[in-house]
Amino acid sequence: MASQNLLFSTDLISPEVQGALPPGYKLRPLSSDDYERGFLKVLSVLTVIGDISKAKFLERYNYLKRHNHEYFTIVITDPSDTIVGVGTIFVERKFIRNTGLVGHIEDIAVDKNQQGKKLGLRVIQALKYIGAKTGCYKVILDCSEKNVPFYEKCGFTRKEVEMAWYT
């Protein structure tokens, strides 16, 4: 795949995580072609996606690409080149902690038929690698109570409380 079609540099893709995937599975940054590979279908296991056209997908992809020092979305593909796992880390620039960086893990999903094969774990390991490489002093995420054991297996510990306000 041509590197100009990828969201960010493959230097930020962990070789160890790639090596731990099942044979024929690949880890890489999101590509501008991933609309056709089922990116949104995988995300739909997480929540409502809405009716997103290719043009709308590309508009959002191009925004992320212009901000690809902050947005890092990764995918795992299976041997048929279909997307089966996705996730994002957003790197926030703070004043506190001596202008520190915090990584926010968002929108993790594994295709229903591919769950339980450690692909979710690999997505999180790959995002933690990006967080560490970009200099984040911590990586945090919000999740449902039912996903706590999964994130504990991924090395996270429970801390504080999530609050939300919907407009």
Binding site for ligand ACO (CB under 6 A): 45-46, 105-110, 115-121, 141, 143, 146-147, 149-150, 153
Q: Which residue in the block uniquely carries the two structure tokens 């795949």?
A: 1
Of 12 and 126, the one with the shorter C-beta distance to ligand ACO is 126
Dihedral (CA of 93, 94, 98, 104) sign: negative
CB of 10 to ligand ACO, least distance (A): 22
Q: Which residue is nearest to ligand ACO (CB)?
A: 120
Identify the CA nearest to 31 among candidates 70, 67, 76, 69: 76
CB of 104 to ligand ACO, least distance (A): 9
Of 68 and 147, the one with the shorter C-beta distance to ligand ACO is 147
Of 54 and 152, the one with the shorter C-beta distance to ligand ACO is 152
Query: Are residues 138 and 157 in contact, defined by beta-carbon separation less than 8 angstroms?
Result: no
CB of 2 to ligand ACO, least distance (A): 29
Of 46 and 58, the one with the shorter C-beta distance to ligand ACO is 46
**What is the spatial distance between Cα 41 and Cα 135, in angstroms, rounded to a whole number?**
32
Of 52 and 104, the one with the shorter C-beta distance to ligand ACO is 104
Query: Are residues 76 and 119 in contact, defined by beta-carbon separation less than 8 angstroms?
Result: yes
**What is the spatial distance between Cα 25 and Cα 60, in angstroms, rounded to a whole number?**
26
Would you give the end-to-end CA distance of the chain in angstroms? 40
